[in-house]
């Protein structure tokens, strides 16, 4: 029952001294257990302990997102939107699951030229016919500052199969926002929410852990393909409506996604993507990814939400220190340095 309510450098789509005697054997063992084996491989970790449990998918759906607004048409945001849309239109079908590796660790001959934009992504792709709703908990970092207008980090970003919206954590040179991207109407951001103090107060737990918000997208009406996107309000313990839309999904893809995504160009000062330096201390994490099918919610798993690839190449993301962590059985991932 339905719920209430631009060279693509990597290819194509579908990040004090210690006294020796003070370190115990147990601490060393724990440290080694948390260290990824190699930066060029998606590592498999046990899911890390959460300080706050993910919200119930069936909590009341009563409010409206505080601070959500129809975005102004600023030059900076419009540029980010054009970059996003051009990258999405450049790929389709099998292209979204293929990431050619750059031979020889990105030698000069095959490196993206200065000014070219590399588009790449990694995460899980919920498959057609497996769900009519998706939810996840996504970290945010309001301190991450993007300096170059051609560089955009959309991470995490999520969409259900054939849904009318994608909910995006958007880091752009004009500021950091949550976007509800309209895939059935204007094909652009229909609602935006700034990552400000009010957002953090209402939509993150505020328990001293990493700031993270929970998003839910559900189909309300199958015949009209009407979808609603919600953010969980931790102050009211209810889901607040962010955006609702119906119609035909114009994304050109029949699967969903929950993933890390970059549009990046090379900083000539570092020979790496700008974001590789600017987001050095940012952790991009998506946890508690769940799918709804036949009215029931369950964690995303290997059978319904395969990884886009199991061995991502950080060189292809213009950030050699980047690590890709499979923190759960397809329901939790982390990208960090």
| Confidence (pLDDT) at 51 | 55
- Return all residues near 237 (Cβ < 8 A) that are at least 6 apart: 55, 59, 60
**pLDDT per position in the chain (337 positions), as tens?**
444 433 343 333 443 333 332 333 333 333 333 334 344 456 654 444 355 889 999 999 999 999 999 988 777 777 777 777 776 666 555 544 444 443 333 333 344 555 688 999 999 999 999 999 999 999 999 999 999 988 999 999 999 999 999 999 999 999 999 999 999 999 999 999 999 999 999 999 988 878 999 999 999 999 999 999 999 999 999 999 999 999 999 998 999 999 999 999 999 999 999 999 999 999 999 999 999 999 999 999 999 999 999 999 999 999 999 999 999 999 999 999 9
Distances (CA, A) of 259 to 110, 174, 217, 256, 307: 26, 22, 15, 10, 9
What is the rounded end-to-end Cα distance, in angstroms, of the chain?
A: 42
* C-alpha–C-alpha distance, residues 304 and 288, integer Å: 15
């Amino acid at each position: 029952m339905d719920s209430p309510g631009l060279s693509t450098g990597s290819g194509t789509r579908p990040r004090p001294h210690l006294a020796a005697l003070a370190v115990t054997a147990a601490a060393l063992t724990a440290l080694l257990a948390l260290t990824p084996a190699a930066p060029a491989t998606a590592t498999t970790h046990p899911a890390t302990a959460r300080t706050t449990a993910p919200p119930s998918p069936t909590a009341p759906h009563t409010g409206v997102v505080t601070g959500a607004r129809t975005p102004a048409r600023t030059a900076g945001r419009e540029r980010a939107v054009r970059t996003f849309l051009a990258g999405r239109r450049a790929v389709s079908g099998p292209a979204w699951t293929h990431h050619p590796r750059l031979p020889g660790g990105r030698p000069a001959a095959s490196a993206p030229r200065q000014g070219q934009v590399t588009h790449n992504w990694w995460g899980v792709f919920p498959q057609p016919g497996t769900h009519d709703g998706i939810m996840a908990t996504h970290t945010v970092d309001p301190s991450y500052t993007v300096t170059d207008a051609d560089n955009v980090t959309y991470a995490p970003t999520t969409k259900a199969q054939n849904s009318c919206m994608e909910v995006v954590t958007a880091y752009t040179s004009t500021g950091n926002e949550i976007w509800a991207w309209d895939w059935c109407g204007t094909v652009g951001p229909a609602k935006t929410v700034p990552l400000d103090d009010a957002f953090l107060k209402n939509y993150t737990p505020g328990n001293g852990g990493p700031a993270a918000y929970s998003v839910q997208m559900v189909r309300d009406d199958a015949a009209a393909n009407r979808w609603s996107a919600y953010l969980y309000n931790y102050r009211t313990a209810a889901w607040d409506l962010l955006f609702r839309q119906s119609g035909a999904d114009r994304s050109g893809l029949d699967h969903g996604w929950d993933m890390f995504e970059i549009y990046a160009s090379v900083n000539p000062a570092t020979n790496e993507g700008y974001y590789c330096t600017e987001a050095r201390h940012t952790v991009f994490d998506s946890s508690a990814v769940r799918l709804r099918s036949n009215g029931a919610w369950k964690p995303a798993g290997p059978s319904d939400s395969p990884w886009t690839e199991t061995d991502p190449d950080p060189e292809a993301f213009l950030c050699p220190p980047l690590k890709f962590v499979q923190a759960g059985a397809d329901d939790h991932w982390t990208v960090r340095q």
